[in-house]
Amino acid sequence: LYDKPCGRFAESDFCRMNEQLALPGSKLFYRDVRLGLLGGGQLGRMILRSALDLNVHVRVLDPDPNAPCARFADEFTVGDFRNFDTVLAFGQGCDVLTIEIEDVNVEALQVLAQQGVQVFPSAEAISTIQDKGLQKRWLAQRGFPTAAFEWVADTTDLHALFGPGPFGEAPEWHFPSVLKLRRGGFDGRGVQLLRSENDLQLAWDAPCILEQKVDIVRELAVVVARNTYGETASYPTVEMEFNPEANLVEFLFSPSSLSPELEAQAQQLARSVAEQLNLVGTLAVELFLTTSGQLLVNELAPRVHNSGHHTLGASHTSQFEQHLRAVLGLPLGSTGLKLPAVMVNVLGAPGHSGPVVYRGIEEVLRLPGLRVHLYGKTETRPFRKMGHLTVLAATLAEAKAIARQAQQLLRVEAD
Ligand code: ADP
């Protein structure tokens, strides 16, 4: 786990790569290749850090003039990445186009690809993942293990599934179940637990998927990268702990507590999803370990991900650099962990909205093995992701203890 990359590297692959480099190194490393990035949030900002190291020119599109990338991109365009015309015009000025958010206009990406812009991941992969209904169907059709699910068009459809059939048959679905908006949900917003008839009254009247509620022992994720040559490299599995109030990841540990057999299974699942999607870029595969010991794929994100933040510092190659390598036709870097790592999201405190102050940050900076990453957002809101902390230590127990200390010391409040 600590030294070996999880990816497969064959010498012949590298030879093939050198022959076929889509973007000749002579241009790429001298700022002549224009890499476009849809989305200028914190994920983009961390991609920019790696772009600086590789001397790659990046143009960013985001609707917010104060987005975390705004002051650091080589070029920053204010515009909506969901708008066809905006994405088309932006993309036409790029050699390679990638994303840090999946909610982008895929129709424009399709046209850009036809016009010769290298779009990674492809419009097809993004559109499959954008819609949780299509994503689940795609996974199920290929035999990937997932929770049982059904598409529901609206509340009439939903009520029918929990009611008796036309001939008095038993209902098809039972409580508890989980309802998920097909589009637009993130960080737990867009997921409703249906415990009883009462909860049905509060259900969304929109296209959703209804999922069997799974008995989860652990929530896990594997970040995998795949480059233009089909080479894959995955990071050791991470394990999450959630803040029950906000339903956001609070702690993330790596390596996870999975047995070596399950670890191998998780790696294999993630790589296989990336390969079958023909994905180029980074993919996060969120997994559940059930009480019966089965790994289920919960959901996919076709981009760098919160569950890979610790790789910035904890891994030989961060997920952000890996993403650049993948979409720019470069060899993938080693994914081995340097030391056990814990990642803590720095979230806005409940009850605080407005200009942000980081109380206790000086004490936090005294803690051993800890690094602070702030995203440069000027306004805090309850549970808004404002930054993250990474702790490296000789043992996971030690790293967790320091992370807990940091969490108690740091308060993200409004001035
Ligand atoms: P989001 O995209 O908003 O993060 P997820 O699909 O990851 O949505 O769901 C959010 C959380 O809800 C999960 O991390 C998990 O704790 C819980 N959850 C989701 N699906 C199920 C399920 N089928 N059974 C039990 N819990 C679930």
Residue 188 CB–ligand 1 contact under 6 Å:
yes
Residue 414 CB–ligand 1 contact under 6 Å:
no
pLDDT score for 16: 47
Q: What is the tens place of the pLDDT at every residue in 342-366?
A: 999 999 999 999 999 999 999 999 9
CA angle 311, 313, 319 (to 5 degrees): 30
* pLDDT tops 90 at residue 187: no
Q: 255: helix, coil or strand? A: coil
pLDDT score for 5: 42
Q: 45: helix, coil or strand? A: helix
Residue 246 CB–ligand 1 contact under 6 Å:
no
Question: Measuring from atom 5 of ligand 1, which residue has the nearest CA?
Answer: 188
Residue to probe by mutation, ligand 1, list 132, 136, 178, most atoms within 8 Å of CB? 178
pLDDT score for 23: 62
pLDDT score for 28: 84
Residue to probe by mutation, ligand 1, list 250, 298, 303, most atoms within 8 Å of CB? 298
Q: 363: helix, coil or strand? A: helix
Q: What is the mean pLDDT of residues 181-204?
A: 88
Q: What is the mean pLDDT of residues 315-326?
A: 98
What separation in Å is there between the alpha carbon of 50 and the centre of ligand 1? 31
**d(C-alpha 398, C-alpha 67), whole Å:** 35
pLDDT score for 244: 67
66 token code pair = 């104060």
Please name the amino acid found at residue 246: A
Q: If residue 19 lies in a helix (H) or strand (E), which one and from where to where?
A: helix 11-20
pLDDT score for 4: 44
Residue 147 CB–ligand 1 contact under 6 Å:
yes
| Helices (H), ranges, 116-259 | 123-130, 132-141, 155-162, 197-201
pLDDT score for 249: 65
Residue 299 CB–ligand 1 contact under 6 Å:
yes
For the CA atoms of 191, 264, 14, 325, what is the dihedral angle to 10 degrees? 30
The answer to whether 207 and 182 have CB atoms below 8 angstroms apart is: yes
Q: What's the pTM?
A: 0.93
- For residue 107, how many other CB atoms are within 10 A of its CB? 12
How far is residue 7 CA from its own chain's centroid? 19
Q: What average pLDDT is seen over the chain?
A: 92
* Number of residues written out for the chain: 415
* pLDDT tops 50 at residue 199: yes
Q: What is the mean pLDDT of residues 187-210?
A: 90
For the CA atoms of 306, 280, 31, 82, what is the dihedral angle to 10 degrees? -70
pLDDT score for 241: 81
Higher-confidence residue of 271 and 251: namely 271
> Which atom of ligand 1 is closest in space to residue 147's alpha carbon?
23
Residue 219 CB–ligand 1 contact under 6 Å:
yes
pLDDT score for 26: 62
* pLDDT tops 60 at residue 29: yes
What separation in Å is there between the alpha carbon of 181 and the centre of ligand 1? 11
Q: How far is CA 20 from CA 17, 174, 261, in A?
A: 5, 54, 36
Residue 331 CB–ligand 1 contact under 6 Å:
no
Residue 381 banded pLDDT, cuts 50, 70, 90? very high
How large is the C-alpha radius of gyration of the chain? 22
pLDDT score for 247: 64
**d(C-alpha 67, C-alpha 39), whole Å:** 9
Q: What is the mean pLDDT of residues 9-15?
A: 43
| Phi, psi for 61 (deg, rounded to 5) | -115, 125
* pLDDT tops 60 at residue 104: yes
* pLDDT tops 50 at residue 17: no
* pLDDT tops 60 at residue 21: no
pLDDT score for 22: 55
Higher-confidence residue of 103 and 19: namely 103
pLDDT score for 25: 62
Residue 7 banded pLDDT, cuts 50, 70, 90? very low
Residue 307 banded pLDDT, cuts 50, 70, 90? very high
pLDDT score for 184: 81
